[in-house]
């Protein structure tokens, strides 16, 4: 892969703006599109070119990367009129880094192949901090040769980069990640809510157990935010709920039961019902803390 590429980056939100910034700093020519132009302003100030549509951004790019909100956004961005599949030039590499449906990932790969394009599904984990520090875990599905082309670009954004199999495999891996994360969020919230109810200093309990067998990344990084009533989103509740819905749909297709995920989804439905869908996922603790 050449040192400098033309890269279209669609979706410059909480994570996307940092991810695109790493590519820009590495010397790649960046073409950007986002629903809200202001969220791309720092990239534009640094020399990126603005486009009014995803298709326009993709038209002249060697690589097209998307990280948008919901599966319906992915579908319209790729498969809609004047979308990426229609506008991308033959030979381009398309990389969807949104957490989306494995079924949709396969549809996009098939449509891309029909136009002489390569497509990868490559969802990420690590939130805003992982994106900022270029330490994301990147889970990739698609053709092995396309993965080889993409790997130098992935290495600018993440540290754990694995090719899991054919189209949709990256999304299935991300579902496994989100299932474990959802149940883990319930675990630390319940443990620390119990400590608080018992009259213990919850910050000291956190310091005591987070480094032991009960510890986790989410407990270490999100619990202190919850204690400080800082619910700013590193990862939105609304997007987490979307992921849980996809995981439950996929589990039904695979004919497996996931009772822990069912419970987590019910609890986050209550978080959403409180009007906290724009908060970070640590807002779950508010249910237990009675905020």
> Is the separation of the CB atoms in 196 and 204 below 8 Å?
no
C-alpha angle 161-277-198 in degrees, rounded to nearest 5: 90
Annotated catalytic residue, options 81, 151, 174, 255: 174
Locate the domains of the chain by residue range.
6-166, 173-289
* Per-residue pLDDT at 127: 86
Smallest CA-to-CA distance from 118 within 155, 156, 153, 81 is with 153
SS3 readout for 192-234: HHHHHHCCCCHHHHHHHHCCCCCCCHHHHHHHHHHHCCCCCCC
> Is the separation of the CB atoms in 158 and 97 below 8 Å?
no
CA 213 vs CA 203, 209, 218, 234, 256: distances in Å: 17, 7, 14, 25, 27
Phi-psi region of 239 (alpha: psi -120 to 50; beta: other; left: phi over 0): alpha
Read off the pTM. 0.93
> Is the separation of the CB atoms in 25 and 49 below 8 Å?
no
Query: According to the CATH classification, is domain 173-289 in 2.60.40.2230?
Result: no
- Which residue is it, tokens 């919230």? 189
* pLDDT tens for the 291 residues of the chain, in order: 446 999 999 999 989 999 999 999 999 999 999 999 999 999 999 999 999 999 999 999 999 999 998 999 999 999 999 999 999 999 999 999 999 999 999 999 999 999 999 999 999 999 889 999 999 999 999 999 999 999 999 999 999 999 999 999 999 999 999 999 999 999 999 999 999 999 999 999 999 999 999 999 999 999 999 999 999 998 899 999 999 999 999 999 999 999 999 999 999 999 999 999 999 999 999 999 885
Query: According to the CATH classification, is domain 6-166 in 3.30.465.10?
Result: no
CA–chain centroid gap for 71, Å, is: 12
Give the list of residues 6+ apart from residue 233 with CB closer than 8 angstroms, or none.
14, 128, 278, 279, 280, 281
Torsion, CA 145, CA 67, CA 23, CA 282, rounded to 10? -120
In total, the chain counts a number of residues equal to 291
* Per-residue pLDDT at 3: 67
* Per-residue pLDDT at 1: 43
DSSP annotation string for the chain: --SS-EEEEE--STTHHHHHHHHHHTT-EEEEE-SSGGGGHHHHHTTPEE-SSHHHHHTT-SEEEE--SSHHHHHHHHHSTT-HHHHSPTT-EEEE-S---HHHHHHHHHHHHHTT-EEEE--EESHHHHHHTT-EEEEEEE-HHHHHHHHHHHTTTEEEEEEEESTTHHHHHHHHHHHHHHHHHHHHHHHHHHHHHTT--HHHHHHHHTTSTT--HHHHHHHHHHHTT----SSBHHHHHHHHHHHHHHHHHHT---HHHHHHHHHHHHHHHTT-TTSBGGGHHHHHHT-
* Per-residue pLDDT at 291: 53
174 is catalytic: yes
Beta bridge partners of 66: 10, 96
């Amino acid at each position: 892969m050449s040192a400098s590429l033309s890269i279209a980056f669609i979706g410059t939100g909480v994570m996307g703006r940092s991810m695109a910034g790493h590519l820009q700093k590495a010397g790649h020519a960046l073409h950007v599109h986002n629903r809200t132009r202001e969220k791309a302003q720092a990239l534009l100030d640094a020399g990126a070119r603005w486009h009014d549509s995803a298709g326009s951004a993709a038209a002249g790019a060697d690589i097209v990367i998307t990280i948008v909100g919901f599966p319906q956004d992915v579908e319209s961005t790729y498969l809609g009129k004047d979308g990426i599949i229609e506008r991308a030039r033959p030979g381009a590499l398309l990389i969807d880094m949104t957490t989306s449906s494995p079924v949709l990932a396969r549809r996009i790969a098939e449509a891309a192949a029909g136009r002489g394009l390569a497509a990868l599904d490559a969802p990420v984990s690590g939130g805003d901090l992982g994106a900022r520090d270029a330490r994301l875990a990147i889970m990739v599905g698609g053709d092995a040769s396309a993965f080889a082309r993409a790997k130098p670009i992935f290495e600018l954004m993440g540290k754990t980069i694995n090719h899991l199999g054919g189209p949709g495999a990256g999304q299935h891996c991300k579902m496994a990640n989100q299932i474990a994360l959802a149940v883990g969020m319930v675990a630390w919230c319940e443990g620390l809510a119990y400590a608080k109810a018992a009259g213990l200093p919850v910050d000291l309990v956190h310091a005591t157990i987070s480094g032991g067998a009960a510890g986790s990344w989410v407990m270490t990084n999100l619990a202190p935010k919850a204690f400080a009533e800082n619910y700013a989103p590193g990862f939105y509740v609304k997007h987490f709920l979307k992921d849980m819905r996809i995981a439950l749909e996929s589990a039904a297709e695979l004919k497996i039961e996931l009772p822990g995920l069912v419970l987590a989804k019910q609890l986050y439905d209550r978080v959403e019902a409180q009007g906290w869908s724009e908060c970070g996922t640590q807002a779950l603790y508010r249910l237990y803390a009675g905020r």
